[in-house]
Amino acid sequence: DVKVTQSSRYLVKRTGEKVFLECVQDMDHENMFWYRQDPGLGLRLIYFSYDVKMKEKGDIPEGYSVSREKKERFSLILESASTNQTSMYLCASISTGTGYNEQFFGPGTRLTVL
């Protein structure tokens, strides 16, 4: 049962290219997140969105932008890819409200920028 999908598992791009990472969830969740994960640094929050067309910066937003035109889709954009953006990118979604809630993660996209 598919819950959070990401457009690619592996991606190789060149420095300066514009890169789009797509994430889709089928659980009607309000909140969606983009993280990057690097060895020894855990998961770092890039951007998140709590509604269509709404976005908030996370801890490391520099060099990234996001788009949320539909509730189920949250896109991460690298306007001009650089080698230091080589990383594993993880998308997640969660429902809002009180009580029990879990974040569902996609399988990740491993991006290499040459």
Partner 1 sequence: LAKTTQPISMDSYEGQEVNITCSHNNIATNDYITWYQQFPSQGPRFIIQGYKTKVTNEVASLFIPADRKSSTLSLPRVSLSGTAVYYCLVGGMAAGNKLTFGGGTRVLVKP
Binding site for partner 1 (CB under 8 A): 4, 30-31, 33, 35, 41-45, 48, 50-51, 54, 56, 58-59, 90, 92, 94, 96-108
Q: 15 or 96, CB closer to partner 1? A: 96
Work out how close the CB of 50 gets to partner 1 at its nearest, in angstroms, rounded to a whole number.
4
Using the minimum distance from each CB to partner 1, give the nearer residue, 50 or 112.
Answer: 50
For the purposes of burial, counting CB atoms within 10 Å of the CB of 36, is it exposed (0-12), middle (13-18) or buried (19 or more)? buried
Query: Which of 93, 97, 87 is CA-nearest to residue 12?
Result: 87
Instruction: Tell me the helix, strand and coil percentages in the chain, rounded to 5.
Output: 5, 50, 45
Minimal distance in Å, beta carbon 104 to partner 1? Answer: 8
